[in-house]
Amino acid sequence: MQPNPKKLLDLAKKLHRPNVLVLGDLMLDEWIWGKVSRISPEAPVPVVAVDRRTYTPGGASNVAANLRSLGAKTWVVGIVGNDEAGRTLKGELKKRGANVDGIFSVTDRPTTLKTRIIAHNQQVVRADVEMRGTIDGKISSKLFSAGTSLLAAADAILFSDYNKGLIASSFMPRLISEAISKKKVMVAGAKPPNLEAFRGATLIIMNQSEAEQILNRDLSSEKTLKSSGTELLNRLGIHGLIITRGEHGMAIFEPYRAMVSIPAVTSEVYDVSGAGDTVISVATLALAAGANLLEAALLSNHAAGVVVKKVGTATVTQKELEEILESH
């Protein structure tokens, strides 16, 4: 069935309406911008003369930033370290209008921080500060309480998993059961080790390399991709699966329906940082606004076509999404 272009535009104008609870691995992205004019005398590496530093929400925080960029009411649940990076991250989310009452500071691990040095709009190097591990004890109880209390007013719950430990924590099965029992739209960006946690979800989104890792097989052929996507769909008992394929677009799977492939939106790619966060954000809002899975995938595909043109961890606005839909 061919999508109706007018309906896609109408749906894009409704993306600000749903209320979304985001739960996942929160990160701060630090950007150090500068210029290179010489090579270091100490080692064969460029010397970057720093002009400025900027900060953007990353990981599950970037999902929340995308939702806010589209105007949706957004609650964030997760943890940060009791450090400057954690305070900066909460400040960046507040600045964007997200509710951060469900973010708790912990003393036994740092805020996940990704520092990128950019020279002449090209990434020179990235340095990560992080600690993986599940969350238990009092913080786990607080996360569960915050999640269940906010779930009541949410139209959708979005799990943003970067395999840093939160999704594997003890409170998660109970929270997911609550979401399913309340019949909430439940969307997960799942990493392979935690895939089984999201049984019964409305939609799971993963990239092709993640799907290959889960199934231990190459998915470059159309035939193998079709059978493998259906296998994952049935194994997890989910209502929908999207496998993103970079320049090859997306493959969409639903029960009792043939796989649908949609091509990537043609654009000059500058930076793919955070494009997956945009895809899952827009797909969640679209489903919560009444879209079917194909419509949600098409909207998120076009949104990704906007953000890859931007340098850095970027978001998409409703106006930008409407413009790219009209141009295509």
277 is catalytic: yes
CA distance 143 to 168: 13
Residue 40, H or E segment? none
Q: Residue 176 has which token pair?
A: 């997911």
List CB contacts of 241: < 8 A, sequence separation 6 or more. Answer: 203, 204, 205, 206, 229, 232, 233, 252, 253, 254
Q: What is the CA radius of gyration of the chain?
A: 20
* DSSP single-letter state for residue 111: P
Neighbours of 208 (CB within 10 A): 19
Rounded CA-CA distance 199/176 in Å is 9
Query: Strands, DSSP E only, in 60-98?
Result: 73-81
In order of 34, 67, 79, 200, 292, the CA distances from 150 in angstroms are 42, 16, 16, 20, 25
Q: Sheet holding 203-207: strands in order across?
A: 99-106, 73-81, 19-24, 156-160, 185-189, 203-207, 241-244, 250-253, 260-262
The catalytic residue positions are 277
